[in-house]
Structure 1
Amino acid sequence: MADEKVSMLYKLKPISDRLPTVTRPEGHVHFRTKMMWVVVVLVLYFVMTNVYIYGLDQTETLDLFAQYRTIMAGSSGSLLQLGIGPIVTASIIMQLFTGAKIIKLDLTNKKDKACYQSVLKLVVIFMIIFEAVPQVFGYLVPSEEFVGTFGSIGAKGLIVLQLFLGSYIVFLMDELISKWGIGSGISLFIAAGVAQQLFTGTFNWYAVDATQAMSLSNPPAGAIPKAIYVVMNCTPAEMASQGYDIIFLQQPNPMIA
């Protein structure tokens, strides 16, 4: 009878245990150590948001989910294209299946919880591939040089591999924060993405269209630089007719959002 109650997921545990993971600390982790790991992970996160996918044609690629990148802690065209999407989706699936008793695991039991956490890595890997492949074969366009070197399928396969590595590193960083840092890695990444957007949206001095000269129709993208530029380059009549609209209402980053 006892064997019948053992979840089938235990058969996957030997496989998932071989995957890279972050070990738990054996004792108390000092606050300074926690803060150190939080800073290290944040730096690595921001570095990865600026490491673009090798071989991707940035000019031809269309990001259908650009408006959700901040929420998903991702960055379009970078190694963090998928953000925390695979991790969150995998966690939701596992929680739903466990709550509905489709997966027979008692999370109050240490062995069952360890099995749950271990198999979650396999589900995350599946979700990374499940989310990466449609995007790469859908609208993430490899460059002509990349296709010429590796072929169409090879180029797209290498882009999928880069997305896989980037997303799995995010998963490991989430584990690192949960075990050695403070709070949840997912929450940290979302907060970091929102903070980055707020900072750039407020102080970005580059023109909205970087390929065109800066003008009243192409002002700085940041809210504060845009306001300064408009005030310094508008006559009183222009301020009355369009200047205030540009500062307070015109996208991107209007003062009144």
Structure 2
Amino acid sequence: MASTLVQIASYLPGIKEPEKEQSLKEMLTWTGIVLLLYFTLGSINVYGGDVQSVNQALQQLETFQTLLGAQIGSIITLGIGPIVTSSIVLQMMVGSELLPWNTNTQEGKQKFQSAQKVLAYALTVIEAFGYVLSGTFGNVAGDPT
């Protein structure tokens, strides 16, 4: 199972470790760029979403939105939720020895990170279907005007 997850994860996009030590100035610059991008994407509404439905969802899911770093109705609605959830689930499974991986070894870390990446992508798809099927964005199949 672990080798299958590693193989699947190799096809998914990821971020490589930097080849050299990053200076504080570089790290702060990239952090600023990512924050600017996050806030910009958070202000762009989902195409075709019904404004009234989104506002109603905002009122109902306010705590959920805060916990997951999401902005309901924007194109970053899923936020960091799938990443955090996959990490928590895998940490509990490894800690309770349901998954016998030693995360102190390089091989164990690779298995854990691959499983986390695959699970995060799967949760993203599941949560996206949940939002659409529950009507959070209104009738997205209809005419957006």
Offset of residue 142 of structure 1: 2.8
Give CA-to-partner distance per residue, 1:106-126, whole Å, 9 cap, x none.
110012102211221110011
Aligned with residue 122 of structure 2, among 119, 126, 134: 126
Aligned with residue 35 of structure 1, among 28, 35, 51: 28
Unaligned runs of 5+ in 2: none
| Count of aligned pairs between the two proteins | 140
* 1:102 equivalent in alignment to 2:102: no
Aligned with residue 139 of structure 2, among 125, 142, 161: 142
Q: Quick one: distance in 2 between partners of 1:72 and 1:111? A: 30
- Secondary structure of residue in 1 paired with 2:77: coil
Offset of residue 70 of structure 1: 2.5
Q: Quick one: distance in 1 between partners of 2:92 and 2:64? A: 24
* 1:68 equivalent in alignment to 2:64: yes
Q: Quick one: distance in 2 between partners of 1:32 and 1:133? A: 40
Instruction: State the partner residue of 2:10.
Output: 17
Instruction: State the partner residue of 1:113.
Output: 109
* 1:87 equivalent in alignment to 2:83: yes
Q: Quote the sequence identity (%).
A: 27
Unaligned runs of 5+ in 1: 1-7, 147-257
* 1:47 equivalent in alignment to 2:40: yes
Higher relative contact order (CA 8 A, sep 6+): 2
Give CA-to-partner distance per residue, 1:78-116, whole Å, 9 cap, x none.
012222211111111110111111112111001210221
- Secondary structure of residue in 2 paired with 1:136: helix
Offset of residue 127 of structure 1: 1.0
Letter in 2 for 1:26: E
TM-score normalised by L of structure 2: 0.87
